[in-house]
Amino acid sequence: MIAELVSVGTEILLGNIVNTNSAYLSEKCALLGLSVYYQTVVGDNEARMKETVRTALDRSDVVIFTGGLGPTEDDMTKEVVADVMGLSMAEDEHSRKRIETYMKQYEKNDKKRRITSNNYKQALVPEGALVLDNQNGTAPGLIIEKNGKTAILLPGPPNEMKPMFEEEVYPFLRKKQPEIIYSQMIKICGIGESQVAEEIQDLIENQTNPTIAPYAKTGEVHLRITAKGESEKECKKMIKPVVRELKNRFGKNIFATEEDKTLEEAVVDMLKDQGLKLSLVESCTGGAVAARIVNVPGASQVFTHGYVTYSNRAKRRCIGVKKSTLKMEGAVSAKCAKEMAKGGCVVSGTDISLSITGLAGPDGGTKETPVGTVFMGCCYNGKVETREFHFTGNRRKIREQASAHALVMLRECIMEGIYKKD
C-alpha cells in the first residue's frame, strides 16, 4: 500500500518550524510496511491545497494530513479534503460537546477566555467520517474513506498528533496492511554513537532481513531491529538471534528493550526494585533532571526531595557545602559536587543523592574551567563517587547532555550497588 504525507501550514513554508511530524509519521509508516513515496508541504491557501489534495489522493492509497484543523479562518484542511472527495459537512454533536467541555475548563481558569463561534467550526465533519477524539486539544482528527482511498486528518501540534496517531490511527492502518512488519528496540546508554556503530558494523554490512537501524539520541543510542514476514511469530523468530547477539555485545549498557521505555523510567524502576529513595541536588541543570524523573508516573514512590541550589548561598545554606570549598575550589569542582551529593543524603534523609554542578555558559568560562565543564557526584551507601565531563555546544545543549549523563551515572551507581550486594 502506498502512503503519502501532506503537512499543511504557512509557518512550515516560512521556515518558522521544522517539520518533525513528517519524520515521525514516515518512521511509523515504515514500521507498518506502508511505502511512503512523497511528503508534501503546502500553505494555508485554498487553490494550492486543492491541487495538492487531488494529486495526493490520485497517486496514493492513504494520505495522512497534519495541520490546518484549528479554529481560525486559515485552517481549511477539512473543508478542502471534503470538497475534493465530494462530501458535504455536518456538525458532529459529540465533538461539539467535547469542545464545550474543554473550553469551559479553560474559562474556569481564566475569566478572559470564552468559547467563540470559531471554536464550533472545529465540530463540523465530512459525512461518514470517523471522528478521532483529541485528548490534548480541541481539534478532532478524522478518517475519511471513499472509493478505495483513505484520507487521515490529524492536528498539527506534535503533542496532539502523536497520541492520536498511536491510539487511533496506528491500529486502524495495522488492519489494512496484510504484510507483517515487526520490530524490536534495544536502547543503549553509557557508550557513544560511533563506538556502537563500530561494534555492529559486521552485523549491518550486507543485512537484508532483519535489518538493524541505529538512531542517536542525547546520551543514548537506539537500535531498531526490523523483520518482514508472513506472521508475527515468523518475524519474532528471525529477530531473536540478532537480539541475543546485541545483548552479548552491549550487556549492562542496555537499559531498555521496550519501544516506549525511557532512561528515566529505567532508573525509577531500579530504585523501586531496590526500595531506594532518591534526592537530587542540581545547579547548572536547574531542575531538569528532577523534571525528567517526575515525568515517570509513580515517581513519587522513589523521588522525594529536589534542590536547585543555583546560588552559592543556597549551596551552603540548603545543603551544607563548606564555605572553604566554594572559596578554594569554586562551585564548579569535584569537591563541591561531592559535598552537594553528601549533603543531599543528609538533609533529605534519602538513600541515594545525585548532584550536578557545572558551567553552561555562554559567559563565565576560564582557561581552567571552560564553558561545558560539569561535575557530578553520587552518594550511596555512605560513599561518594564523582565524575568530570566536558560538553560542547550552546547553553541548552550542554544542559541537555548533562541531564542525560546524570541519569546514566545514577543508573550505573545503583547497578554497582546491586552487584556489590550480591
Q: Which of 8, 12, 57, 268 binds a second copy (CB under 8 A)?
A: 12
Least distance (Å) from a second copy to the CB of residue 177? 16
Residue corresponding to grid cell 542517536? 216
Sites for a second copy among residues 334-373 (CB under 8 A): 348, 360-363, 372
Of 153, 243, 299, 356, the residue at the interface with a second copy (CB under 8 A) is 299
Cβ at position 231, least distance to a second copy in Å = 21
The Cβ-side half-sphere exposure at 239, using a 13 Å CA radius, reads: 21
Q: What is the DSSP string of 159-194?
A: HHHHHHIIIIIHHHHHHH--SEEEEEEEEEESS-HH
Which of 201, 248 has the CB closer to a second copy?
A: 201
- Choice from 188, 293, 354, 410 touching a second copy (CB under 8 A): 293
CA distance 248 to 195: 15
11, with CB counted inside 10 A (0-12, 13-18, 19+), is middle
- Rounded Cα–Cα distance for residues 277 and 411 (Å): 14
The one-letter amino acid at 220: E
Restricting to residues 14-53, which ones interact with a second copy according to CB under 8 A? 14-20, 22-30, 36-43, 45, 48, 52
Stretch near a second copy under the rule CB under 8 A, chosen from 5-13, 88-96, 231-239, 335-343: 5-13
CB of 107 to a second copy, least distance (A): 10
* Binding to a second copy, residues 273-292 (CB under 8 A): 280, 282, 284-291
Under the criterion CB under 8 A, does residue 248 sit at the interface with a second copy? no
CB of 240 vs a second copy, minimal distance in Å = 21
Of residues 158 through 197, those in contact with a second copy by CB under 8 A are: 159, 163, 190-195, 197
By CB under 8 A, what part of segment 251-270 binds a second copy?
A: none
Answer yes or no whether residue 297 interacts with a second copy by CB under 8 A. Answer: yes
- How many Å separate Cα 373 from the centre of its chain? 26
User: In this structure, what C-alpha cell is assigned to residue 101?
Assistant: 467541555
DSSP class of residue 71? S
Window of 87-95, 143-151, 268-276, 298-306 that interacts with a second copy by CB under 8 A:
298-306
CA dihedral 341, 344, 350, 351 (to 10 degrees): 10
Of residues 315 through 334, those in contact with a second copy by CB under 8 A are 318
Draw the binding track, 107-126, toward a second copy (x: CB under 8 A; -: no contact): -xxx-xxx-x-xx-------
Binding mask 69-108 for a second copy (x = CB under 8 A): -xxxx----------------------------x--xx-x
Contacting residue, 149, 240, 261, 387, with a second copy by CB under 8 A: 387
Q: Return the C-alpha cell found at 172.
A: 486502524
CA distance 85 to 106: 35
Q: How far is the CB of 207 from a second copy (least distance, A)?
A: 11
> How many residues interact with a second copy (rule CB under 8 A)?
119
Q: How far is the CB of 127 from a second copy (least distance, A)?
A: 26
Half-sphere exposure of 88 (CA within 13 A, CB side): 1
Instruction: Compute CA distances 377 → 74, 353, 368, whole Å.
Output: 52, 8, 20
Interacting positions 127-146 with a second copy (CB under 8 A): 135-137
The distance of Cα 251 from the centroid of its chain, to the nearest Å, equals 24
User: How far out from the chain centre does Cα 193 lie?
Assistant: 19
C-alpha 196/C-alpha 198 separation (Å) is 5
- Report the residue number, 157 or 330, with the smaller CB distance to a second copy: 157
DSSP H or E run through 8: strand 2-8
Residues 186-245 that bind a second copy (CB under 8 A): 190-195, 197-198, 201, 204-205, 213-216, 224
Q: Does 300 contact a second copy by CB under 8 A?
A: yes
Left (φ > 0), alpha (ψ -120 to 50) or beta: where does 227 sit? beta
